[in-house]
């Protein structure tokens, strides 16, 4: 893959993630304006992960055969989702908007990761993965910054629309994406065809223990990210610590800035000391961050945001480990399967927080932190063998 192709993918993911970053700070305003209960907020926040969970395996299969189409359809779904949210319609319309954003985000991420990882060899593999993640986090940070700077008098629908507008960039670069990542031609069955669904299933059934461990780590990361950034920081910051939209945006941006600052160094270190060892370190930070955000007073709440950002810098490392133990023929399919676990957690995190209510959410997130620290210990033990 050429440097220009990688740059195009990074521009795509940057533009597509702005609307994802814009949603969190607006959640308290959506709750007030639409008169939503906590359980409805949990459903609304979790609908994004639910859609991704349903779409991951189909997206992986589609990306393996129709990569260009996968990347081209994503922005249309994202635009439709943002427009539905902007309409400020009834609760089902808002949920549908989040679902469409989740579907579009899935196609973009799975397609982009497939394009990078199918060509993922050599000593710079983790750096390339984290560069792609770096671009996505810049997009999230851009959405957060835009929401924080816009006046509250604009209202949440227009603020979301303006913050998510960079997705239009992706529509403009679709022709370039189609040229550089064309669809694979259909091959007649039995004439050198790629692995069929049954053989892919057989390959999944024979996955080594380290791959299953990566699935578990990805699940914990997804649960942590969705519970903390999509629910707990916005609502606890507003209700318990009295922060306005700008204050919530700054705290969420703090995690993103730390994540951005650590992404490339973490990737560089992972290529030298080992992905599993580095994943153990960042999982420990993730667990400590979850404890601070979920259970701490305001200073620990802020410190938890910093540690949480350090933990999220390892988001791409499990996929790198999976790539090391996966044949090319089934990698796109296995990427989709991995994303099912991550996005199921991204759906269940906010939903569980909403159902438990504000009083118990911190305890739930603290328990997720325990799971992250336990994963760090397990990974550290494996790396030391």
Cα 320 to Cα 118, 119, 335: the distances in Å are 11, 12, 10
Q: For residue 26, tell me if it sits in a domain.
A: yes
pLDDT at 54: 85
The Cα–Cα gap between 308 and 205 comes to 33
Domain contains 193: no
Is residue 187 in a domain? no
H or E, element range at 314: none
Residue 194 within any structural domain of the chain: no
- Mean pLDDT in residue range 114-125: 60
What is the residue range of 41's domain?
3-182+199-383
Model pLDDT, residue 126: 58
Q: 209 is written with which tokens? A: 């223990």
Nearest-angstrom CA–CA distance, 261 and 240: 29
Is 46 within a domain? yes
pLDDT of 332 higher than 70: no
201 pLDDT above the threshold of 70:
no
The total domain count for the chain is 1
Query: Would the pLDDT of 191 be above 60?
Result: no
Query: 160 with 86: CB under 8 angstroms?
Result: yes
Residue 124 banded pLDDT, cuts 50, 70, 90: low
What is residue 19's predicted lDDT score, i.e. its pLDDT? Answer: 86
pLDDT at residue 80 tops 90: yes
Assigned domain for 349 exists:
yes
Calculate mean pLDDT across residues 34-62: 85
Locate tokens 């060892």: which residue? 277
Residue 188 covered by a domain: no
Token pair of 85, please? 């949210």
Q: What is the CATH number of the domain that holds 168?
A: 1.20.1250.20
Flag whether 50 is in a domain: yes
Asked if the model's pLDDT at residue 192 lies above 50, the reply is no
Residues 6+ apart with CB under 8 A from 374: none
Instruction: Give the model confidence (pLDDT) of 125-142 as tens digits.
Output: 556 676 887 888 888 888
Angle at 365 between CA 341 and CA 280, to 5 degrees: 60
Question: Is the model's pLDDT at 115 over the cut of 50?
Answer: yes
pLDDT in tens, 281-329: 999 999 999 999 988 889 999 999 999 989 988 887 888 888 777 776 6
In whole angstroms, what separates CA 35 from the centre of its chain? 28
Q: Which two tokens stand for residue 296?
A: 């701490």
CB 384 within 8 A of CB 308: no
């Amino acid at each position: 893959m050429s440097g220009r192709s990688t740059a195009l993918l990074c521009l795509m993911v940057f533009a597509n993630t702005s609307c994802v970053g814009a949603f969190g700070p607006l959640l308290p305003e959506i709750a007030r304006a639409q008169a939503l209960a906590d359980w409805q907020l949990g459903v609304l926040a979790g609908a994004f992960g639910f859609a991704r969970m349903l779409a991951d395996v189909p997206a992986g299969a589609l990306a393996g055969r129709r990569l260009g189409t996968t990347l081209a359809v994503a922005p249309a779904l994202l635009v439709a989702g943002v427009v539905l949210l902007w309409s400020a319609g009834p609760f089902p319309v808002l949920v549908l908007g989040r679902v469409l954003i989740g579907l579009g985000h899935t196609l973009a991420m799975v397609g982009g990761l497939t394009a990078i990882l199918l060509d993922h060899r050599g000593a710079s593999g983790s750096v390339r993965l984290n560069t792609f993640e770096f671009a996505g986090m810049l997009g999230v940070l851009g959405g957060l910054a835009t929401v924080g700077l816009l006046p509250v008098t604009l209202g949440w629908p227009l603020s979301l629309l303006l913050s998510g507008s960079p997705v239009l960039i992706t529509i403009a670069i679709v022709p370039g994406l189609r040229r550089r990542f064309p669809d694979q031609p259909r091959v007649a069955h039995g004439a050198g065809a790629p692995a069929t669904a049954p053989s892919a299933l057989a390959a999944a059934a024979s996955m080594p223990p380290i791959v299953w461990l990566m699935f578990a780590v990805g699940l914990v990361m997804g649960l942590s990210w969705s519970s903390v950034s999509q629910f707990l920081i916005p609502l606890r910051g507003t209700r318990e610590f009295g922060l306005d939209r700008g204050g919530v945006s700054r705290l969420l941006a703090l995690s993103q800035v730390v994540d951005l600052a650590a992404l490339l160094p973490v990737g560089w270190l992972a290529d030298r000391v080992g992905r599993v060892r580095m994943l153990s370190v960042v999982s420990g930070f993730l667990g400590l961050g979850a404890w601070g955000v979920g259970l701490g007073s305001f200073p620990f709440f802020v410190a938890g945001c910093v540690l949480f950002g350090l933990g999220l810098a390892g988001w791409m490392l499990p996929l790198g480990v999976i790539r090391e133990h996966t044949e090319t023929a089934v990698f796109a399919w296995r990427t989709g399967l991995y994303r099912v676990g991550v996005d199921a957690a991204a759906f269940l995190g906010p939903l569980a927080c909403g159902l438990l209510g504000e009083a118990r959410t911190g305890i739930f997130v603290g328990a997720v932190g325990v799971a992250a620290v336990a994963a760090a210990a397990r990974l550290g033990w494996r790396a030391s063998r």
